[in-house]
Amino acid sequence: MKRLLLFCIALSLLLTPLFVSVAQDRNVFVYGHPVAFPNLDPSSGNSNENVVMGNVYETLTFYNAPGSDEILSPKLAVSWEASEDSLTWTFNLREGVTFHDGAALNAEAVKKALDRTISIGEGSAWIFWMIDSIEAADELVVQFNLNTPAPLDLVLSAGYAAWIMSPNAADQDNAWFNDGNAAGTGPYMIASNEPGQRMVLEAYPDYWGGWTVGQFDTIVFEIVEDPTVLEQMIRSGDADFTYSLPFDNYGPLADASGVSVVVTPSFQNLLILLNTVKEPTSNKLVRQALSYSFPYADVVTNLYAGMGTQARGPIPANMWGHGAGLLQYSQDLDKARELLAEAGYPDGGFSLVYTHVASDLDEQQVGELWRASLAEIGVDLEIRGLAWEAQWDLAINDPASAQEAFGFYWWPDYITPNSWLTGMFVSEEEPFFNLSYYSNPDFDSLVAGASAISGTDRVAAEAMYVAAQELLLNDAAAIYVVDLPDIHVVRDDVSGYVNNPGYPHVVFFYDLTR
């Protein structure tokens, strides 16, 4: 026995020195990623693999991080223009760009790539619904013909589905991409893929942007589900970047040496849609009372550790189309009581059903905090956790018997206020995502009008979007709970990191140095 034990210890000691890092001659960046990459097909991938896509593929236009002068900047297209009716769009492509497989970027390649995505029709491909046809007008000129006026320059900057892959890759099927093959124009190529474990990207030497000293030549994604392990990795310097740790862990991490916690607003928010069809929430005064009953400050400080911000209307504060002067409800129980009395419910006396995704503890706690406040105005709240599709099914089957309050996260597929306003609030014949069943012809026409001119006159469109939100807030179709933060942990010796919520959790490694 003793000998065996000694043998084991000796073996461990013997093996240890074999594993000192030999990676000194490479400039390696390690991204500790909390989930695997489900679908590496740039046409249909609609999930966390966007952090890979954003570095391997590029889009025609690029959505700039909030705070930039312009909303968009050129990427594979250097310039673009829309016809006056926004129905014909012409994009001039960048010269001298090559794909990782050596093919040249030209109008035919762009057409073939986007046609592939549109014909597969999965994931976020629906963002191209307005495209009638794509034409290669010249070697480097692509023309898009639309059936409805739309801001195509914004659509083509999307962080999902808008990637341009090489013409050879466009001939391949989903399995080819998921074997770890890729051919984009981005600064990095997929070098190896061990599903569920690790992916390695290597710099593409012929990248059109060129390379300078200090940039990372090797990127490693380590897939680690356990947040404790992720935290150990970032603390010890074994990872350079991570996210998705428990809220409580960020405080101590921010004090740790060598690590920064970067908190910036994301484009995702949490709302509670109120049933505008069923009594008593069909009464606008009741919905307003509910809006005044909600404990916004409590949720922001206690649940999100002060890192989120109370939402002001549906559009996040750092996005175009947000109205800084819009009505913002805050908790005022006296006002809520007054409104209830005016609506004919002087002591409350009714009960509501709030549904949320069962596995989402944040949504559940939002419900619990709200229930405590509602109890004070005589309203009872039943909190019901359901599987997502069961929650949704309950809402779309029959509004008259559906839940009164529907907890809902929203984020845009491409960055436009239209995503929230049309997605959740424009009248629908059959309910789909308008789960407050809100219907207001004035609102509908403002949103449609804004959408039509948002490609050509963004300033005017913005004003119309804000006017539409005014109606929405007055009608209290939803409770706007919180604009969620992006919380990223970065090692201090990495410079150049800026979070761009337009591409959630994507680190653009090309911009970084060590």
Partner 1 sequence: MVYLSFLLRRMGLSVFVLVGVLILTFIVSRVIPSNPAALYAGARPRPEQVEEIEKKLGLDKPLTEQFRVYLADLLDGDLGESYHSRRSINTDLSIFLPATLELVIAAVVIALVFGIPIGTLAGAYPRSPFDYATRFVAIAGVSVPSFWLALIAQSVFFSQLGWLPLGSRISRDATLFYPIAAQTGFYLIDAAISGNWDAWFDALHHLILPALVLSAYPLGVTIRMTQASMLEVLSETYITAARAAGLSRPVILFKLALKNAIMPALTVVGLSFAYSITGAFLVEVIFSWPGVGKYVTEAVLNVDFPVIIAVTLVVTVFYIGVNLAVDLIQALLDPRVRLI
Kindly list the residues in this chain that would bind partner 1 in the complex (CB under 8 A).
1, 4, 12-13, 15-16, 18-19, 21-23, 26, 28, 30, 35-36, 38-39, 41, 44, 46-47, 121-123, 126, 129, 174-175, 178, 192, 194-198, 200, 218, 220, 222-226, 228-229, 232-233, 238, 359, 387-390, 392-393, 413, 423, 430, 432-433
Comparison of 175 and 324: residue with beta carbon closer to partner 1: 175
**CB of 21: closest distance to partner 1 in angstroms?**
6
Comparison of 368 and 432: residue with beta carbon closer to partner 1: 432
Comparison of 350 and 433: residue with beta carbon closer to partner 1: 433
**CB of 304: closest distance to partner 1 in angstroms?**
21
**CB of 437: closest distance to partner 1 in angstroms?**
15
Comparison of 18 and 324: residue with beta carbon closer to partner 1: 18
Q: 502: which 2 tokens?
A: 């337009």
Comparison of 28 and 343: residue with beta carbon closer to partner 1: 28
Q: 93: which 2 tokens?
A: 């492509």
Distance CA 330, CA 344 (A): 22
For every residue of 413-425, DSSP letters joined together read SSS-HHHHHHHHT
Distance CA 113, CA 130 (A): 17
Comparison of 83 and 172: residue with beta carbon closer to partner 1: 172
Q: 294: which 2 tokens?
A: 């909600």
Comparison of 38 and 349: residue with beta carbon closer to partner 1: 38
Residue 181: how many other CB atoms lie within 10 Å: 15
Strand, helix or coil for residue 246? coil
First to last CA, the chain: 50
- Say if CB 275 and CB 436 are below 8 A apart: yes
- Say if CB 104 and CB 112 are below 8 A apart: no
Q: Alpha-carbon dihedral of residues 171, 174, 176, 178, nearest 10 degrees?
A: 150
Comparison of 38 and 344: residue with beta carbon closer to partner 1: 38
**CB of 47: closest distance to partner 1 in angstroms?**
7
**CB of 11: closest distance to partner 1 in angstroms?**
9
**CB of 218: closest distance to partner 1 in angstroms?**
7
Nearest to 150 by CA among 474, 483, 447: 447
**CB of 118: closest distance to partner 1 in angstroms?**
13
Beta bridge partners of 310: 482
Beta bridge partners of 287: none
Comparison of 91 and 241: residue with beta carbon closer to partner 1: 241
**CB of 454: closest distance to partner 1 in angstroms?**
20
**CB of 284: closest distance to partner 1 in angstroms?**
28
* Residue 51, Cβ density class (10 Å: 0-12 exposed, 13-18 middle, ≥19 buried): buried
Distance CA 512, CA 270 (A): 31
Q: 455: which 2 tokens?
A: 């490609």
* The Cα angle at residue 160 between residues 50 and 227, in degrees rounded to 5: 30
CA atoms within 13 A on the CB side of 410: 32
Comparison of 4 and 213: residue with beta carbon closer to partner 1: 4
**CB of 424: closest distance to partner 1 in angstroms?**
10
**CB of 354: closest distance to partner 1 in angstroms?**
19
For every residue of 308-345, DSSP letters joined together read SEE-SSSS-TTSTT--TTS------HHHHHHHHHHTT-
Beta bridge partners of 309: 483
Comparison of 413 and 462: residue with beta carbon closer to partner 1: 413
| Backbone CA torsion sign across 337, 342, 348, 350 | negative
**CB of 155: closest distance to partner 1 in angstroms?**
14
Q: How far is CA 442 from the centre of its chain?
A: 29
Comparison of 15 and 213: residue with beta carbon closer to partner 1: 15
Burial letters 399-423, b for 16+ CB under 10 A, else e: beebbbbbbbebbbbbbbbbbbbbe
Which residue, chain included where needed, has tokens 């484009």? 267
